[in-house]
Chains A and B, each alone.
Chain A
Amino acid sequence: MTIDLYGFGPALAAGALMTVKLALTALCLGLVLGLLGALAKTSSYKPLRWLGGAYSTLVRGVPELLWVLLIYFGSVNAVRALGEFIGMPDLTLSAFAAGVLALGLCFGAYATEVFRGAILAIPKGHREAGLALGLSRPRIFSKLVLPQMWRIALPGLGNLFMILMKDTALVSVIGLEEIMRQAQNAVTFAKHPFTFYMVAAVMYLGLTVLAMGTMHVLEKRAARGFVRRT
């Protein structure tokens, strides 16, 4: 069985590449934000705890679609001010950058909770042992807490990444040419909405399978030393 794509095959493939690029870039930003959010939320300093809590509550309470639209249209003045400050007065936020910011922000808010859970799951004794050994706090964090946190947080982060990958479809509304947008272009040009949206759906499924496979490998690697050998 062959499906006639009316010459939109390459466009859809380019869309898939854009989707992957967007998802991975937003993931990097989201991981950093999530880690910072979790550190703030578990901090012993009250204003920081409050800030971390406000970040994750505010961002998670508003639809992702609204964040995409708000950041794309709402960042104008802030970006212009920044542009003038660094000497590039014509600086604007591209659809890609807006998409990365919006999706990274949302991923980070959920990742804050995942990382926080992981930090709390690490026995207090480990940190105390580190202190007793005379390790500095940053060293305890990077050598003791972070590697263990990674293993505990990985499944949760994997789920969030699957959600992130599907949320990339929302960035089509600000004109970024990812899978969804390319499918819409194809429908405008060649009709057959069911065919093109189904092809797009299958492409997302393929990406999901790929991500699931990667997660499986990562989880296995992270669990080294925790699996009982028989």
Chain B
Amino acid sequence: MQNYKKLLLAAAASLVFSANALAVDKYKVGIEGAYPPFNNKNASGQVVGFDYDIAMALCAKMKAECEVVTSDWDGIIPALNAKKYDFIVSSLSITDDRKQAVDFTDPYYSNKQQFVAKKGVDFKTDIESLKSKKLGTQRSTQAATWLEDNVGGDIALYDTQENAYLDLSSGRVDALLADKYAIYGWLKDDPAGKDYEFKGNPINEDDKVGIALRKGESDLRTKLNLALKEIKEDGTYKKINDKYFPFSIE
């Protein structure tokens, strides 16, 4: 009888503990999935890239179970506010416009925008010369805002960065303005990228990229900031950085 009781106690205890183990936080992470090398889908439908690796490292640090949800770039912030996921790790620059709609964590990398055009072509990046060129960029990006505010006129706005590259290589646009490190990946990895190069000096030198969350979720924000600090300190961040870039983008 005594034995039986002990067994029951042990069973109950294990139940409690396993229940504790089960009670991990679960999050859905919003990622665009069309922005190599930061995030895109491979043939088996798996999201890969810098953003994905960072998101998974953060989740591991927070001891949370994370599920990736992909979204169109256009709708990535609306879908966050529509609770389709809990935070966005998708190369989202921290801007005043976006701060009206969402909160951001500390930045997890820095970027800048730069023009890219065909090799050997004389492409000047002063405003006057830009006005006479057909320029393209992705809709709802820092680059789009900059072009609209500084150059204006007939700018081609694309749903995905990939479609913008397709049109650059078909010659529909003279140049693209986009995030420098994304273009870096395209110039290096894409067969079409070999005929193109950066033009002029980068603009928006101080572009910080952060994780976006719904307004008022300060608990989650604190957790994410802490996890970000931890992966930077323990070398995980550097490992992910080096996997994609031979220089630091922190």
Binding site for B on A (CB under 8 A): 6-8, 10-11, 14, 69, 72-73, 75-76, 80, 90, 92, 173-175, 177, 184-191, 193
**Assembly CA distance A8 to B72 (angstroms):** 20
**Assembly CA distance A141 to B140 (angstroms):** 53
A residues in contact with B40, CB < 8 Å? 188-189
Cβ-closest chain B residue relative to A5? B43
**Assembly CA distance A174 to B159 (angstroms):** 12
* 28 pairs from A and B in contact (CB 8 Å cutoff): A7-B43, A7-B44, A8-B43, A11-B44, A11-B45, A69-B75, A72-B75, A72-B79, A73-B75, A73-B82, A80-B83, A92-B83, A174-B75, A175-B69, A175-B70, A175-B72, A184-B34, A184-B160, A185-B34, A187-B166, A188-B34, A188-B36, A188-B41, A188-B160, A188-B162, A189-B40, A189-B42, A191-B191
Residue among A6, A69, A75 with the most chain B CB within 10 A? A69
Q: Contact check: which of B70, B72, B78, B162 meets A187 at CB < 8 Å?
A: B162
**Assembly CA distance A72 to B79 (angstroms):** 8
Cβ-closest chain A residue relative to B30? A175
Interface flags for B61-85 (1: CB within 8 Å of A; 0: not) read: 0000000011110110011011110
Q: Decide if A193 touches B166 in the complex (CB within 8 Å).
A: yes
Q: Decide if A90 touches B34 in the complex (CB within 8 Å).
A: no
Q: Decide if A72 touches B44 in the complex (CB within 8 Å).
A: no
B26 to nearest A CB, angstroms?
10
**B11 at the A/B interface (Cβ < 8 Å)?**
no
**B16 at the A/B interface (Cβ < 8 Å)?**
no
**Assembly CA distance A90 to B71 (angstroms):** 19
For the complex of A and B, the 9 pairs showing the least CB-CB separation, nearest first, are A7-B43, A76-B82, A188-B162, A185-B41, A73-B78, A92-B83, A175-B71, A188-B34, A175-B70
**B7 at the A/B interface (Cβ < 8 Å)?**
no
**Assembly CA distance A115 to B138 (angstroms):** 44
Binding site for A on B (CB under 8 A): 33-34, 36, 40-45, 69-72, 74-75, 78-79, 81-84, 160, 162, 166, 190-192
Given contacts A73-B78, A185-B45, whether A191 and B192 have CB atoms under 8 Å apart is: yes
A residues in contact with B34, CB < 8 Å? 184-185, 188
**Assembly CA distance A191 to B144 (angstroms):** 24
Cβ-closest chain A residue relative to B160? A188
Q: Contact check: which of B41, B79, B166 meets A189 at CB < 8 Å?
A: B41
**Assembly CA distance A188 to B190 (angstroms):** 10
Q: Decide if B41 touches A6 in the complex (CB within 8 Å).
A: no
A residues in contact with B45, CB < 8 Å? 11, 14, 177, 185
**Assembly CA distance A191 to B192 (angstroms):** 9
**Assembly CA distance A76 to B44 (angstroms):** 31
**Assembly CA distance A92 to B34 (angstroms):** 24
B171 to nearest A CB, angstroms?
15
Cβ-closest chain B residue relative to A14? B45
Cβ-closest chain B residue relative to A186? B43
A residues in contact with B44, CB < 8 Å? 7, 10-11
B88 to nearest A CB, angstroms?
13
**Assembly CA distance A130 to B183 (angstroms):** 74
A residues in contact with B72, CB < 8 Å? 173-175
Residue among B34, B41, B75, B192 with the most chain A CB within 10 A? B41
B221 to nearest A CB, angstroms?
19
Q: Decide if B191 touches A11 in the complex (CB within 8 Å).
A: no
